[in-house]
Chains A and B, each alone.
Chain A
Amino acid sequence: MNIRLICRIAIALLLARRKQTIIAAIGVTFSITMFIALLSFMSGLNDLLDGIMLNRTAHVRIYNDIKPNLKQPVTVSKEFRNSYNFIRSVKSVSNRQEIYNSGAIMQALKKDKRVKGLAPKITAQVFFINGSVDITGIINGIDVQAESKLFHFSDYVTDGNPLDLKNVPNSIILGQGLADNLKVNIGDVVQITTVQQQLFSLKIMGFFKSGVKELDEVQSFASVSTTQKISGKADNYITDIQVKLYNIKIAPAVAKEYARLFQADAEDIQTANAQFETGSFIRTLISYLVGITLLIVAGFGIYNILNMLIYEKMDSIAILKATGFSGSDVNRIFIVIALSIGIVGGLFGLLFGFLFSLIIDQIPFVTASLPTVRTYPINYSLAFYIIGALFSIVTTLFAGWAPARKASKIDPVIIIRGK
């Protein structure tokens, strides 16, 4: 059967009820618009919130945990091999956090094709001297360039140039909260004492704002070499190697492999931050549910319009049947009507959804905890548009199915006799 003729009849019927058709299409447009805008916005927020954590966290962290040796003398001893040995209150003997042979490990990691980059890190516990009071703090020794590249360190430095850490010896970037407590400015010199009671003077090069106030009150950053000096260690002393992978999903497997290979501890991001996955999953689920609900409501709108159209066009359907159109032809006519409402409404919905996302993207969103964010975040993922388009077609098909079936079952004799 000639599909052009069917489309022609469908369009003529649609145009005869122009206003209702437009209202039905607007229903679809509205729901698709909201679906796109909502999902883009929610997923943008999700990415932002995940990013706060993901951007700053290594996919795999290699370190040496302070823990008692698993091989205690009694378990090694041949004499007690066949016995159960109970040792209570085992203490760790050496407080050695250093990663053995860190230079060689870093060389090996750089050659690994799965690794996007790595950044060494050491931490030192210090006291910042503020008059007669000492404030506890932590100095993170970092490689500024690697840290900026992999973990967006420079995004969080609100004042000063992060590269100064590398270029100026004995320099430090303080957390904003810490700086406020110490009442210091850029260019000032801050006095610290180490746990080993040694006194150092460090020049303040900038301030740092992570978005987590508690962190900003204790954290500060210096170069790796400055921190090694403060800790009184040699220049191969590294306590952490942070590895960023190309594919975050393989992190658990890679962590296990590295732990075995380098005989150190390795922790993957999934284990370290399990709760984040759950949070973003639930948020995504909720936004999809809301979007799909909107579409279903629009589907009912289409169903209503088609039902009304069928009641109004009973005579036309009867005459089409009397002049030789079969039930399946009539069915197709109404399916085409439903589909064209869905496709036209859906296309406009995609367009308006995109425009709406652009507008949301311009709304200022300034918050103390997210220094790098200026406007509301939007994720312009093509996937939402594809889902929206598919869904608009599927819902209208479902909405049109029952009325079309009803139309195809109309008995022309009853209509013609009824007059």
Chain B
Amino acid sequence: MGNTVMLEARQINKSFHDPLTVKILNDITFTISSGEFVSVTGKSGCGKSTLLYILSTMDTDYEGDVFIEQEIMRGKSEKELAGVRNKKIGFVFQFHYLLNEFTVLENVMLPGLKLGASREEEVKEKAMGLLKELDIHPLFNKYANQLSGGEKQRVAIARALINSPGIIMCDEPTGNLDKKNSLIVFGIFKKLAEENHQTLLVVTHDEEFARNSHRIIEMEDGRIINK
């Protein structure tokens, strides 16, 4: 299982031009295989979040190429990229970004309903299953703003998993969680990689978190210094 390439970055360069041209990413090249749990670390401003947005197809203004499940992302329309994000990538952000207008269950279901591959009842069943797995199923009918930070982050993980994506990308998933909740989240990620063979790419500041993952990509000033 470990040898299918899930994500590949080829010579990615990116610069910001406002107000001066500053090179953010410099010749980033690496591949990640399925079932890998990879941490990206580095100081603030080293470009790791920018890299994540490029890899996630949300940012399309870059040089070089991104392959997701061996498919090139360049030249795809905005709609096709949205489809890729929906189906192949799961997201977990630092500030969990749940929709406060919806209940926990609906938040988890939304990407599944958008994909439209299965009927609503099936999506619902799957969402409930995920919530149960993450041990937050009693909260399913609460609204997002009624939850604690750790609970929200687990809901966000459940949402990232609803369409069974090959790759899960996380931006500082434990950034504002306490020790206990960080450990819970880490445990979930590890299980996803080792039992479900899903690929995890986690941008993090948390040294301990990174050390415990399978592989660390270390960045400094827009370059990879250690992979």
Which A-B residue pairs are the 9 nearest by beta carbons? A324-B86, A326-B82, A12-B101, A16-B101, A326-B79, A319-B97, A323-B111, A324-B85, A413-B53
Least Cβ distance of A396 to chain B in Å?
Answer: 21
Contact with B along A286-324 (1 / 0, CB 8 A): 000000000000000000000000000001101111111
Asked if A12 contacts B82 (CB within 8 A), the reply is no
Q: Verify B58–A321 contact, CB threshold 8 A.
A: yes
- Cβ A5 vs Cβ B113 within 8 A: yes
Q: Among B53, B83, B111, which residue has its beta carbon within 8 angstroms of that of A417?
A: B53
Query: A2 in the interface, Cβ–Cβ < 8 Å?
Result: yes
Contact with A along B88-122 (1 / 0, CB 8 A): 00010111011111100010001101111000000
Residue of B at shortest CB range from A419? B95
Find chain A residues with CB under 8 A from B125 CB.
none
Question: Which residue of chain A has the shortest Cβ distance to B81 in the bound complex?
Answer: A326
A327 within 8 A of B: yes
- Measured CB to CB, the residues of A under 8 A from B are 1-2, 5, 9, 12-13, 15-16, 315-316, 318-329, 411-413, 416-417, 419
Seed contacts A416-B93, A419-B94; 17 additional CB < 8 Å A-B pairs: A5-B113, A12-B101, A315-B97, A316-B99, A318-B97, A320-B99, A321-B82, A323-B110, A323-B114, A324-B114, A325-B82, A326-B78, A326-B82, A327-B78, A328-B79, A329-B114, A413-B58
A sample of 16 inter-chain contacts (CB < 8 A) reads: A2-B113, A5-B116, A12-B99, A16-B100, A319-B97, A322-B93, A322-B97, A323-B114, A323-B159, A324-B82, A325-B86, A326-B79, A326-B82, A326-B83, A328-B79, A413-B58
- A323-B110, A413-B53 given as contacts; is B82 within 8 A of A15 (CB)? no
| B101–A316 CB distance below 8 A | yes
* B29 at the A interface (CB under 8 A): no
Q: Assess the A324–B87 pair: CB atoms within 8 A.
A: yes
CA distance A13 to B82 in the complex (A): 21
Contact of A416 among B85, B163, B171 (CB under 8 A): B171
On B, residues with C-beta under 8 Å from A are: 49, 53, 56, 58-59, 78-79, 82-83, 85-87, 91, 93-95, 97-102, 106, 110-111, 113-116, 159, 163, 171
Docked pose: A346 CA to B110 CA in angstroms: 31
Closest residue on chain B to residue A315 by CB atoms: B97
Contact between B49 and A12, CB atoms less than 8 A apart: no
Report A-chain residues with C-beta under 8 Å of the C-beta of B79. Answer: 326-328
Q: Chain A residue with minimal CB distance to B103? A: A12
User: A204 to chain B: closest CB distance in Å?
Assistant: 80
Residue ID in chain A nearest B165 by CB atoms: A324
Instruction: Write out the residue numbers on chain B whose beta carbons fall within 8 Å of the beta carbon of A320.
Output: 99, 110
Q: Evaluate whether A323 and B85 lie within 8 angstroms (CB atoms) in the complex, with A2-B114, A413-B58, A417-B53 already known.
A: yes
Decide: A325 and B114 in contact? CB cutoff 8 A.
yes
- Name the residue of chain A whose CB is nearest to the CB of B87: A324
Shortest CB-to-CB span from B106 to chain A, Å, is 8
Q: Is the CB of B101 within 8 A of A13?
A: yes
With A12-B101, A322-B91, A324-B87 known as contacts, the answer to whether A413 contacts B59 (CB < 8 A) is: yes
Q: Which residues of B contact A327 (CB under 8 A)?
A: 78-79, 82
Q: Complex: how many Å from CA A2 to CA B119?
A: 12
Q: Are B102 and A324 in contact (CB under 8 A)?
A: no
Q: Could you tell me if B95 and A15 are in contact, using CB atoms closer than 8 angstroms?
A: no
Q: What residues of A have a CB within 8 angstroms of the CB of B93 in the complex?
A: 322, 416
A323-B91 contact given A15-B101, A413-B53, A417-B49, CB 8 Å threshold: yes
A328 to chain B, nearest CB (A): 7
**A323 to chain B: which residues have CB within 8 Å?**
85-86, 91, 110-111, 114, 159
Taking CB atoms, residues of chain B closer than 8 Å to A12 are 99, 101-102, 106
Contact B53 A324 (CB under 8 A): no
* In contact, B58 and A5 (Cβ under 8 angstroms): no
When the two chains form their complex, are residues A324 and B111 in contact, meaning their CB atoms are under 8 A apart?
yes
- Bound form: Cα–Cα A417–B51 in Å: 12
Q: Which residues of B contact A1 (CB under 8 A)?
A: 114, 116
- Shortest CB-to-CB span from A404 to chain B, Å, is 15
Chain B residues within 8 Å of A325, by CB: 82, 86, 114
Q: What's the Cα separation between A316 and B87 when bound, in Å?
A: 19
Question: Which residues of A lie under 8 Å from residue B78 when comparing CB positions?
Answer: 326-327
Q: Would you give the shortest CB distance from B47 to chain A, in whole angstroms?
A: 12
CB pair A416 B97 closer than 8 Å: yes
Which residue from chain B places its CB closest to the CB of A316 in the assembled complex?
B99
* Residues on A with beta carbons closer than 8 Å to the beta carbon of B95: 419
The CA of A315 and the CA of B85, in the complex, are separated in Å by 17
Complex Cα gap A222–B93 (Å): 96
State A324–B79 Cα separation when bound (angstroms).
Answer: 9
Q: Looking at B49, B78, B106, which has the most chain A CB atoms within 10 Å of its CB? A: B78
Which of B86, B110, B111: most chain A Cβ within 10 A?
B110
- CB closest chain-B residue, reference A417: B49
Chain B residues near A2: list those with CB within 8 A. 113-114, 116
* Residue in B closest to A324 when the chains form the complex, CB atoms: B86
Which A residue's beta carbon lies closest to that of B159? A323
**A319 proximity list for chain B (CB < 8 A):** 97-99
* Best-buried of A319, A320, A411 by chain B (most CB within 10 Å): A319
User: What is the CA–CA distance of A59 and B86 in the complex, to the nearest angstrom?
Assistant: 72
Chain B residues contacting A328 (CB-CB under 8 Å) are 79
A306 CB to nearest B CB, Å? 16
Given the complex, which residues of B lie within 8 Å of A417, measured CB to CB?
A: 49, 53
